[in-house]
Amino acid sequence: MHPKNLHKNGYPMDALCQSYPALKPFLVRAKSGNISIDFTNPEAVKKLNAALLHHYYKLEYWDIPDGYLCPPVPGRADYIHGIAGLLKTSGRDQQPVLGLDIGVGANAIYPIIGVSSYNWSFVGSDVDDAAIKSAKAIAGKNSVLASKFSVRQQTNSAHIFKGVIEESDRFTFTMCNPPFHKSPQEALSGTRRKTSNLSRNKQKRSGAKFAGSQAQSVERRLSSAELKNNAARGQAVNLNFAGQANELWCEGGELAFIQRMVQESVSVKTNVQWFTCLVSKSAHVKPIRTSINYYGATSCEVIEMEQGSKISRFIAWSYSN
């Protein structure tokens, strides 16, 4: 993990329980003898996240509606620290820094980490009513966020920046964790595969390594609960569950979404210094670079992030010198 990542040494369960006693009932002893939680239990994962955000980021309140993404905090922190490094090397890290989180979600995880770690300010946008309501509650119920984080609703799901970025806005960066899958069926298939792997590996993992790797898998499983329930009942896949569909899939999948983001970025290039987006598949980097060059960006960077054996990355582009 990034050297500045507060979670690089694993989860100190004793300290977390002292800071956040509600976590204690969910502790289990792993096969190795180390204390952990059951990562197949959605409520345990949510309580662990709440404990981490309380202990490390001084949150007084954090909650998400059932079925929405419960993000693995360590990996999310790496994206924030990666952006901080990008701003520093490009000479754009002077305060005040204002970020735009596209698809802030119900969990608002990136603004939380960015405000607490770097004293940045954030605007978060989302298309989903419940996600907007949840993110606003997190912003309003935490004194550390109250003056640093605001939420705007994207009323047209066909747009990414249009309708969110106002003419007078000047963002230091934008960030996004885009939908990964191309269809609800592909999302369901991926969920089943990851759930199966999680159950199979449950007894093979332990301690901090178990915590970090399995939390990544749990995220997608949690967000697809209703998909799985419908399939189990033999029903057609039902996407009437607000932000979950938006979090999991879009037409054309990740590559199409990011290429659309690049195209839209041209119209707001004077409002943003750096555009950034996570890229799950390394094979997508080359065509995204091609799009970025086609639309006339003056800079393009790919920043890799390592979490154990997992390598992820985000791409960044700019139209300013």
Where does the chain show beta strands of DSSP type E? 27-29, 35-37, 98-102, 121-126, 149-153, 171-176, 272-278, 299-307, 310-318
Of 165, 163, 213, 221, which Cα lies nearest the Cα of 42? 221
The predicted structure's pLDDT at residue 216: 43
**Poorest-confidence range of 28-37, 53-62, 219-228?**
219-228
> What would the pLDDT profile of 93-129 be if each residue is shown by its tens digit?
887 999 999 999 999 999 999 999 999 999 999 999 9
The predicted structure's pLDDT at residue 201: 52
The predicted structure's pLDDT at residue 106: 96
The predicted structure's pLDDT at residue 156: 96
Residue ranges of the domains in the chain?
A: 71-179+252-318, 184-247
The two beta strands, 27-29 and 35-37, are: antiparallel
Of 93, 105, 81, 101, which Cα lies nearest the Cα of 1? 81
319, 313 in Cβ contact below 8 A? no
> What would the pLDDT profile of 78-101 be if each residue is shown by its tens digit?
999 999 999 999 999 887 999 999
Whether residue 231 is predicted with pLDDT greater than 90 in this model: the reply is no
Residue corresponding to tokens 């999680």: 198
> What would the pLDDT profile of 258-302 be if each residue is shown by its tens digit?
999 999 999 999 999 999 999 999 999 999 999 999 999 999 999
Helix crossing, 184-201 with 225-232: angle to 10°? Answer: 100
CATH no., domain 71-179+252-318: 3.40.50.150
**The two structure tokens encoding residue 293:** 């060059």
- Give pTM, 2 decimals: 0.82
Question: How many Å apart are CA 218 and CA 82, to the nearest integer?
Answer: 23
The predicted structure's pLDDT at residue 251: 63
Please tell me which residue, 229 or 255, carries the higher pLDDT value. Answer: 255
Q: What's the mean pLDDT in 30-37?
A: 89
